[in-house]
Each structure stands twice: as structure tokens, then as C-alpha cells.
Amino acid sequence: MPRTRGRAPAGGRADALSPEVVVGAAIALLDERGERGLTFRLLAERLNTGSGALYWHVANKDELVALAADQVLGDALAAAPEPAGGARAGLRALAIAVFDALDRHQWAASHVTAPPTLANALRLLDRIGTLVARTGLPAERHFAVATAICYYITGVSAQIIAPGTVVGATTSRDAFLARTAEQWERLDPADYPFLTRATADLRDHDDRDQFIIGLDLLLDGLN
């Protein structure tokens, strides 16, 4: 998403702020209140300024949330360990670091878009591609493999994490999974042989483990 600016506020109050300060405060509010709870009025109060000053740095709430999610991704990239055990180990560590960051800021998961357009999403794909290029894969396969890994990290993270932001508003994750498992149990085993056997796993599974299992299956293909 390209950066846009609104009109400068009267009195030059935008000078007291910066995009980084606005985005950082937005992340804190999003963590506290979720996406629905973020308003420019509350953000302006948090920053001790007027709403007009905010519009000098971001055009609207959609842009602000996108920039905040991209900053979460940037923090994950900064915290990801340097690859020490080859390309596969580096890709694995990077993917898990991104998943953990998005899990800490669950509102952000669905806003990390593919194909990437914002700065840190672009850096994520570039870092993945750089690691893929260090494998034994032929050069003509690098783009397809790098994008497949990137889309797994961002897409599966969103699929696993983002529903929790909706479920959490009305019921706990455990209660939601228990209710879903009960629905599976009522299915006809003749029509749904796997699902009716998997109800206990649905209740007790760990989202991070589920992500890593799929990641390892994908990365095993590098060999």
C-alpha cells in the first residue's frame, strides 16, 4: 500500500509527531483494544494531540492498521536469529519468529498481504529468497519456492491466528474448539471417518505446533 498524506493541520502540530511515533502508539492501542477499538480520537488522546495532526501522517484507519502490521513484521525480522545451520535452518527460524510475532499481535495477522507491497513485507520475501538461493535448487525455481514459503508463513499464520481475534470477543479458544469438536462428534462416521476420529486432537492441539508441522513438511521439500 503506498503511503499517502492528508492535508497539513493548522498550527503545524504534525511537527511534534512522526510516522514512527503514530504507528507505535497505534500498535499499543491495537494490542489493548483490538482493531475495532482503534479510533483516531483515542489515538490522538494517547499522543496528546489533535486528530488533524494524525491525518498529516496517515490517510485513514486502513492505512494506519496496515502500517502497524508491517511494523510488527519488521520487529519480527529484526529479532529473527541469524542463520547458523544452513538455509533450511534459517528459513525455519525466520518463519517461527514471524509466526510468534503475529501471535503476540493477533490483529496484525490478516493484514500482512501477499504479494507484499509494504517495506517489511518486501524485506521478508527478499530474506526468504536470499536463503532459498543458498540451497541446491536451480535458479529458475527460486522465485516459485520463495513465494510458496512466504505465502505459507503469512497465509497460514493468518488462518490460524486471525480467527482467535473474532472468537476471543465472544468466547475462549478452548470453548470454541470444544464446541466445534462436539459438532464433529455428531457427524456420521461413515461419511466423515477422519473428522470423527480427530475430535480429541482438535480440542487439544497447539496452534504453534500445527504451524511448525506444516512448515517442516514444506521445508523438507528443499532436499
Q: 53 and 95, same structural domain? A: no
- Domain check: are 104 and 211 in the same one? yes
Burial class (CB in 10 A: 0-12, 13-18, 19+), 42: middle
> Do 151 and 52 share a domain, yes or no?
no
In a shared domain, residues 93 and 190: yes
Residues 93 and 199 in one domain: yes
Determine the Cα–Cα distance for residues 132 and 143; give it in Å rounded to an integer. 9
Residues 26 and 98 in one domain: no
- Residue (of 78, 214, 206) closest to 155 by Cα position: 214
Under 8 Å between Cβ of 20 and 26? no
**Position 5 in a domain:** no
Judge if 126 and 24 occupy the same domain: no
Q: Within this chain, do residues 41 and 107 fall inside the same structural domain, yes or no?
A: no
Domain total for the chain?
A: 2
- Shared domain check, 206 and 110: yes
Is residue 148, in this structure, part of any structural domain at all?
yes
Q: Residue 113: is its pLDDT beyond 90? A: no
| Grid cell in block for residue 31 | 494490542
Same domain, 21 and 124: no
25 domain-assigned: yes
Domain that holds residue 37: 10-59
Report whether pLDDT(96) > 50: yes
- According to the model, what pLDDT value does residue 169 have? 55
**For residue 4, is pLDDT > 60?**
no
Within-domain flag for 26? yes
Question: pLDDT at position 25, please?
Answer: 97
Mean pLDDT estimate for the chain: 88
- Please indicate, yes or no, whether residues 48 and 142 belong to a single structural domain of this protein: no
pLDDT at 2 over 90: no
CB 165 within 8 A of CB 103: no
pLDDT for the residue numbered 84: 74
Q: Does residue 49 lie within any of the structural domains?
A: yes
pLDDT band at 87 (very low <50, low <70, confident <90, very high): very high
In terms of domains, do 55 and 116 share one?
no
- For residue 129, which of 149, 109, 112, 113 has the smallest C-alpha distance? 149
Inside any domain, residue 65: no
Amino acid sitting at position 196: T
Average pLDDT on 169-175 reads: 72
**Which residues are within 8 A (CB) of 78 and not within 5 positions of it... i.e. 6 or more apart?**
none
Where residue 30 sits, what CATH number does that domain have? Answer: 1.10.10.60
Three-point CA angle 201, 157, 137, nearest 5°? 105
